[in-house]
Amino acid sequence: MDSSKSRGALQDSTSENNNNNNDGDEEKDELCPGFQDVDAFVKYGLGAVLSATKASGALPQVGDEYDFYRSFPGFQEFCQSQGDQLLHCMSQIMQYHGCRSLMRDRNKLTGLEERFDLVVDSNDAILERAGILLDEADGVNRSQQPVMPAGFQPPKIVVSSWNRKSSGSGSRAETFRLLHAKNIARPQLKFREKVDNSNTPFIPKIFIKPNAVKPLPSCKTYRPEDLDVPAALADFIHQQRTQKPVEDMFAHPYQYELDHLTTPESLLSKPEPQASYINPTNCSFIDSLEDLVALNEKLCSLSEFAVDLEHHSYRSFLGLTSLMQISTREEDFIIDTLELRSEMYILNEAFTDPSIVKVFHGADSDIEWLQRDFGLYVVNLFDTHQASRALNLARHSLDHLLKHFCTVDSDKRYQLADWRIRPLPDEMVQYARTDTHYLLYIYDCVKTQLLETNHGQPGLLQSVWNKSKDISLKKYVKPIFTEESYLELQRKQKRSLNTQQHTAFRLLFAWRNKLARQEDESTGYVLPTHMMIKISEELPREPQGIIACCNPVPPLVRQQINELHSLVQQAREMPLLKVRKEKGVSSGYITFKQGVLFSEDEHKMDVDDEKKSGLLAQAKITLFQNDQESLSVAHMKARRIIEAFENPFRMYLPTSDVHVNENAKFDPSSKIFEISKRWKLQSIEQQQKELEAKRKAKADAKEQTKKDVATVRQQSAKGGGKKRERVASEVGESTPKPTKKLIKSAEKPQKTEPPPQDSFTPFDYSQSDLKVFAGMNDNTQFDPNRQAHDPKKKKNPKGQKSNSAAGNRSMSYMAGKSERGFRHNWPKR
């Protein structure tokens, strides 16, 4: 836009802000020609935008008077010409910023919606660029480029004196691709288990525990048969039936194993020189169960591999792990975790094997995402980020390690790309691959260096192993909404709000949280914080005013404008009072407390409590503890159940009669059934039939040789009972076997295993008598290794390594699982 031309028209309203001397100093090479300084220019610009916005707001609205006015040819003509002019203007701006601008080309873009999207994309690109330039002006050098819309051509940046961008940066001038969300089908729709956004604490998803030293608590091995019941509620019911302590439900499933994990000598000494990272490697894309099973087999035979994840958070409430990268010394793998979400858990076999090192860089989030989305845990983690810290390197990012150890110039440009896109463009695959490809080499390097800087002593290296272990002990905590959650966010705004504004903020915050859970969107997608603040501050009288606070208007705001309007109205009805500001004593935050309208006691909490009750509540629930005085236990249970019933995700289930649940995995018709011997699942019915047949055959044989059939049967029944008792107590005992696997090569665990049980009674609610509910259930757990006694099947597929491990690998697995008719058959390895 030619600003000097339009300036005249607006001069009146802004003249006092302008130092408007036209005495020819515009000719100088100024930053803002015609203005004293940037501030003056900004003020002028804002004034112009404001009056333009006002004028457009005053135009007749569609569906209102617009249709009437449009019946006048003069009006129509005027609108047309103004519209064209505006589009031209916008196109020019977009072109200037290197964005695609097909605003005027009606053939290429069909609907208004598409054009609107184009504007939104361009706005994003322009704002991002502005942000980068401001950062640069601030001295922050953000070398990475933003992900830009398709057809983006890098703009000619006006290089001012402070912006010392090197002229050689032309090599970076590539075409970026914006992987815009609108092109991407929601992956959630394909998920077999629907996402649980209910406002209840996260319960670990794990129900089969490979490499267990301590078995899973029985409550964890139970899963609801009926997905209509939210997992949290089902677990609660189960817990009530079995009278198991509630802590079990929330505990880290590998706490015990990790607590007892010791770093073996071999991992504390100088690593053997490994093949260079430059070796060409294969990269496989894994999106089928067959390949995932094969990968798991492969990983189980290794002594280390590297892992990284890519994540998407904008179009999901809790976030989606969208990709997993794994690199071995020989190969790279990219796993489509959106496709294999329900199957990923099988990798626990390698991920929790204490004899296999898993190398991550900055694993904090990864550990949580693995738990949240797949029920995956890591035992024996090495975090190169922690190593970098211990080594006191200049920076601790992966880029820096790559540069430092591999002289690789990486480019984090795709870090924030939309990782849901499929098929993944080559550039993104390459990017993702780079994140793990060099990691094992870096692992060798940092290990060597940690020993060298510490004069060969393992102390420093040990500290990195310890820190890494602490990270793998992290538990995923679901964001819990409480009445006070909004305070945390409001505090950060450092704004003074009156009671009406405060109330609006609180109501809008609750609205967007509820909607985000319901629609499985991020709160930022539902209503970005800055818009929420704007609405709270302005408290628009009309729905149109709310819309005006939002640019661009979020789809859900448009859809729910009436609801939002009534919330704002509700806030406007509050008596107007100033909200007292209180300075947080220890946190240094400015904290807002409710105005005198509310009883102070009701909202009294100290700073620490506020922190805890903020957006992230602790997963540990105290609902069942008797020391809760304000509400009775029954009352609280009832409340929790009601909360749990608010499961809006039923709407995402294909049809009401289709059961999509955990147990799909146990369905003999599902693919997993026939994939690998190890992952073969057997129908319990079938198994029992077989057992029955065997027993019968045995009995028949005996019948022929012995005469007193009755005695034999009695004896065998007695024997079976004893066996069962012993097995149960063995598994249930809390003193664990030592983690021998770490030193497996030296170890020959040849404990003779107990004979297979010849009968097994699954925990079956449907046929259960009331003893079960009185806590007298038979908590039979079994080790499938004991059951799968077919020596022919146990041809060791992986050479010597697993050979020596045989017998020690235990899989904690609960009888309850098989009540749905199937049971895992875990051949010994």
Note the residues at the interface with Mn ion (CB under 5 A): 308
Which C-beta is closer to ligand AMP: that of 117 or that of 435? Answer: 435
Which C-beta is closer to Mn ion: that of 304 or that of 308? Answer: 308
- For residues 287-310, one letter each, b for 16 or more C-beta atoms within 10 angstroms of the residue's C-beta and e for the rest, the string is bebebbbebbbbbbbbebbbbbbb
Which C-beta is closer to ligand AMP: that of 413 or that of 478? Answer: 413
Which C-beta is closer to ligand AMP: that of 441 or that of 826? Answer: 441
Per the CB < 8 A criterion, the answer to whether 450 and 461 are in contact is yes
> What is the nearest approach in angstroms of ligand AMP to the Cβ of residue 362?
6
Helix boundaries (H) for 345-482: 348-351, 364-374, 384-390, 398-406, 426-437, 439-453, 459-472
Residues that bind ligand AMP (CB under 6 A): 308-311, 362, 415-416, 419, 435
Which C-beta is closer to ligand AMP: that of 320 or that of 539? Answer: 320
Partner whose binding site includes residue 336, from Mn ion, Zn ion, ligand AMP, none (CB under 5 to 8 Å by kind): none
In which element (H, E) is residue 711 found? helix 709-732
CA atoms within 13 A on the CB side of 618: 11
How open is the CA angle 274-280-282, to the nearest 5 degrees?
110
793, amino acid identity: K
Q: Compute the distance between CA of residue 698 and CA of residue 5 in angstroms, rounded to an integer.
A: 102
> What is the nearest approach in angstroms of Zn ion to the Cβ of residue 435?
4
> What is the nearest approach in angstroms of Mn ion to the Cβ of residue 434?
12
Partner whose binding site includes residue 535, from ligand AMP, Mn ion, Zn ion, none (CB under 5 to 8 Å by kind): none
Per the CB < 8 A criterion, the answer to whether 384 and 450 are in contact is no
Which C-beta is closer to Mn ion: that of 238 or that of 420? Answer: 420
Three-state secondary structure string covering 635-650: HHHHHHHHHHHCCHHH
178, amino acid identity: L
CA atoms within 13 A on the CB side of 826: 21
> What is the nearest approach in angstroms of Mn ion to the Cβ of residue 435?
6
Three-state secondary structure call for residue 234: helix
Q: Which residues contact 829 (CB under 8 A, 6 or more apart)?
A: 300, 678, 794, 796, 797, 798, 802, 805, 806, 809
602, amino acid identity: E
Which C-beta is closer to Mn ion: that of 419 or that of 511? Answer: 419
Partner whose binding site includes residue 821, from Zn ion, Mn ion, ligand AMP, none (CB under 5 to 8 Å by kind): none
- Encoded tokens for 54: 């006002």
- Quick one: residue 98, left, alpha or beta (phi over 0 = left, psi -120 to 50 = alpha)? left
Partner whose binding site includes residue 311, from Zn ion, ligand AMP, Mn ion, none (CB under 5 to 8 Å by kind): ligand AMP
Which C-beta is closer to Zn ion: that of 240 or that of 284? Answer: 284
Q: Compute the distance between CA of residue 122 and CA of residue 157 in angstroms, rounded to an integer.
A: 16
For 390, phi then psi, to 5°, come to: -60, -30
Partner whose binding site includes residue 419, from ligand AMP, Mn ion, Zn ion, none (CB under 5 to 8 Å by kind): ligand AMP
> What is the nearest approach in angstroms of Mn ion to the Cβ of residue 394?
20
DSSP assignment of 499-510 equals HHHHHHHHHHHH
Partner whose binding site includes residue 649, from Mn ion, Zn ion, ligand AMP, none (CB under 5 to 8 Å by kind): none
> What is the nearest approach in angstroms of Zn ion to the Cβ of residue 362?
9
> What is the nearest approach in angstroms of ligand AMP to the Cβ of residue 397?
8
Output the residue with the shortest Cβ distance to Zn ion: 435
Neighbours of 172 (CB within 10 A): 12
Neighbours of 789 (CB within 10 A): 15
Burial status of residue 49 (CB atoms within 10 A of its CB: 0-12, 13-18, 19 or more): exposed
Strand 590-592 with 581-583, pairing: antiparallel
Which C-beta is closer to ligand AMP: that of 420 or that of 502? Answer: 420
> What is the nearest approach in angstroms of Mn ion to the Cβ of residue 731?
37
Sheet holding 282-286, edge to edge: 282-286, 331-335, 320-327, 304-312, 357-360, 381-383
Which C-beta is closer to Mn ion: that of 117 or that of 308? Answer: 308
Burial status of residue 608 (CB atoms within 10 A of its CB: 0-12, 13-18, 19 or more): exposed
- Find tokens 């499929």 and name the residue: 422
> What is the nearest approach in angstroms of ligand AMP to the Cβ of residue 308?
5
- Encoded tokens for 230: 């939210």
Partner whose binding site includes residue 829, from ligand AMP, Zn ion, Mn ion, none (CB under 5 to 8 Å by kind): none
Partner whose binding site includes residue 155, from Zn ion, Mn ion, ligand AMP, none (CB under 5 to 8 Å by kind): none
> What is the nearest approach in angstroms of ligand AMP to the Cβ of residue 616?
17
Per the CB < 8 A criterion, the answer to whether 336 and 422 are in contact is yes
> What is the nearest approach in angstroms of ligand AMP to the Cβ of residue 396?
12
> What is the nearest approach in angstroms of ligand AMP to the Cβ of residue 313?
6
Partner whose binding site includes residue 783, from Zn ion, Mn ion, ligand AMP, none (CB under 5 to 8 Å by kind): none
Which C-beta is closer to Mn ion: that of 308 or that of 484? Answer: 308
Which C-beta is closer to ligand AMP: that of 423 or that of 459? Answer: 423
- Please, what is the end-to-end C-alpha distance for the chain in angstroms? 72
Taking Cα atoms as reference points, which of 682, 679, 677 lies closest to residue 796? Answer: 677
Per the CB < 8 A criterion, the answer to whether 308 and 436 are in contact is yes
> What is the nearest approach in angstroms of ligand AMP to the Cβ of residue 523?
15
Taking Cα atoms as reference points, which of 549, 547, 551, 552 lies closest to residue 562? Answer: 547
> What is the nearest approach in angstroms of Mn ion to the Cβ of residue 476?
16
Taking Cα atoms as reference points, which of 435, 432, 443, 366 lies closest to residue 398? Answer: 435
Residues that bind Zn ion (CB under 5 A): 308, 435
Partner whose binding site includes residue 445, from Mn ion, ligand AMP, Zn ion, none (CB under 5 to 8 Å by kind): none
> What is the nearest approach in angstroms of Mn ion to the Cβ of residue 557?
33
Which C-beta is closer to Zn ion: that of 359 or that of 621? Answer: 359
Which C-beta is closer to ligand AMP: that of 257 or that of 435? Answer: 435
Which C-beta is closer to Mn ion: that of 97 or that of 311? Answer: 311
